[in-house]
Amino acid sequence: MVSLLRTLRSIRRVGLKEWYRQMWYIGDAKSGRLVGTDSFGNRYYENLNAEEEVPGRHRWVDLAQHDYNATQVPPEWHSWLHNIRLLAPPEDPKMLEARPKWIGTHIENLTGTRGAYRPYNTAAPKMWAWEPKVAPRQSSSQTQ
């Protein structure tokens, strides 16, 4: 439960519209410094004020798509969110270097969606559905 003072402070900092959007999508009123955005449009924030944030919850992401999935966060930002890296990717000189070609670009996991990978099967089926064999009907003029 968010305290009333923290809620009022957040409304004053981010505005009523943004506060309402945060409560609707992430369920918490947060305000902090925008650290950067990634190629998907996700925004990453940090609040180092120990009085306002619980330790370990001072970094968060505002996902661009509201069909939340953890694979929408690229690995370099994931390591920053989980305090594996001290500096955010835009501030880290190692991350500013060109990315090797063998790594490729990050794509989210599409399992369960229309874009999921489905392999093409070349093996013949071992069972088939039953199809009845029907003899053609004879007309009444042919039987007489």
> Given a cut of 80, is residue 132 above it in pLDDT?
yes
pLDDT for position 1: 47
> Given a cut of 60, is residue 144 above it in pLDDT?
no
pLDDT digits (tens, 9 = 90+) for 49-107: 877 777 778 898 988 887 788 888 988 899 999 988 888 888 888 776 767 777 778 88
Contact indicator for 61, 35 with CB cutoff of 8 Å: no
> Given a cut of 60, is residue 143 above it in pLDDT?
no
Contact indicator for 45, 13 with CB cutoff of 8 Å: no
pLDDT digits (tens, 9 = 90+) for 1-24: 457 887 888 889 889 998 898 888
Structure tokens at 88: 């955010």
Backbone torsion region of residue 49, taken as left when φ is above 0, otherwise alpha when ψ lies between -120 and 50, otherwise beta: beta
Task: Spell out the domain ranges in the chain.
Answer: 1-31, 33-99
Contact indicator for 19, 12 with CB cutoff of 8 Å: no
